Amino acid sequence: MRLLVLGGTAFLGRALVEAALERGDEVSLFTRGRTNPSLFENVERLRGDRDGDLGALQGRTWDAAVDTSGYVPRVVRASAELLRDAVDHYTFVSSISVYADLSSGPSEDGAVATLDDEGSEDAAQHYGALKALCERVVRDAYGARALVVRPGLIVGPHDPTGRFTYWPHRFARGGEVLAPGDPERHVQWVADGFLVEHGRAGGSTPRGRARRPSARGWSCRCGSRTGAPPESWPRT
């Protein structure tokens, strides 16, 4: 498969490229060349900028494109429209944050967050609402040729936040471990490589409710796995 990845040098995109190369796909990366520029030396790199410099994409075709770096509708629209007739399939990695209400379990048909000012491009402030608008752009451009994935907390080797990675390593260090929140609340995550496999399998949205553990259960099993089971759970 000839695969175009918009992004592809950090976290999920990086895992996706590694998996694609492993299975023999012919991969092209479209990047600014700023993040991990020495990665994937034998992979075609198309230099440009999603925000205003898409020239390197023109005149090319691919079997599929994966967009792991779309946060602003205007920017996503530019590449989605440019590639509409250049790729057979377009996968957009969105987020579970698109849902307007996460206080209870979201459903795929649930309402998504909206912006009072649809011109806003403040992704830090309006991450979920902007992702929802990006989804709409992709669906408008590709229809049935689009796959929109709404992962929850993604974890993996190159997670730039370290928010999951901290815990296994902390338990491995041993001693009494301080953990936050209600120990009976459920926790969910999806591993980046896992998401890549299921996303590529087509159509599924891996959010993983099956066998979801409580925070206490996860900690106990994490602790026993690393040889440091928690003894108590501080509560505030």
Kindly state the number of chain residues that form the binding site for other proteins, as judged by CB under 8 A: 53
Q: Which stretch binds other proteins (CB under 8 A): 48-56, 121-129, 139-147, 202-210?
A: 202-210
DSSP class per residue in 109-170: TSPBP--SSTT---TTTSHHHHHHHHHHHHHHHHGGGEEEE--SSEE-TT-SS-TTTHHHHH
Contact call for residue 191 and other proteins (CB under 8 A):
yes
CB of 191 to other proteins, least distance (A): 6
What Å distances lie between residue 9 and 35, 133, 174, CA to CA? 6, 24, 33
Instruction: Report the distance separating Cα 203 and Cα 158, nearest Å.
Output: 25
Which of residues 41 and 108 has its CB atom nearest to other proteins in the complex?
108
Contact call for residue 170 and other proteins (CB under 8 A):
yes
CB of 154 to other proteins, least distance (A): 12
Whether the Cβ atoms of residue 89 and residue 61 lie closer than 8 Å to each other:
no
Contact call for residue 188 and other proteins (CB under 8 A):
yes
Instruction: Report the distance separating Cα 206 and Cα 56, nearest Å.
Output: 32
Cα 96 from chain centroid (whole Å): 10
Measuring CA to CA, which residue among 95, 96, 91 is closest to residue 20?
91
Contact call for residue 206 and other proteins (CB under 8 A):
yes
Instruction: Report the distance separating Cα 129 and Cα 233, nearest Å.
Output: 35
Q: Which stretch binds other proteins (CB under 8 A): 52-60, 71-79, 122-130, 204-212?
A: 204-212
Which of residues 84 and 186 has its CB atom nearest to other proteins in the complex?
186
- Contacting residue, 166, 174, 181, 184, with other proteins by CB under 8 A: 166
- Contacting residue, 178, 181, 182, 184, with other proteins by CB under 8 A: 178
Look at phi and psi of residue 17 and say left if phi exceeds 0, alpha if psi is from -120 to 50, else beta: alpha
Q: For residue 88, give every residue at least 6 positions away whose Cβ sits within 8 Å of its Cβ, in sequence order, or none.
A: 62, 63, 64, 145
Contact call for residue 229 and other proteins (CB under 8 A):
no
Contact call for residue 36 and other proteins (CB under 8 A):
no
- Contacting residue, 24, 52, 124, 211, with other proteins by CB under 8 A: 211
- Contacting residue, 57, 205, 228, 230, with other proteins by CB under 8 A: 205
Where along the sequence are the contacts to other proteins (CB under 8 A)? Answer: 96, 102, 104-108, 152, 155-170, 172, 176-178, 186, 188-189, 191, 194, 198, 201-213, 218, 221-222, 225-226, 234
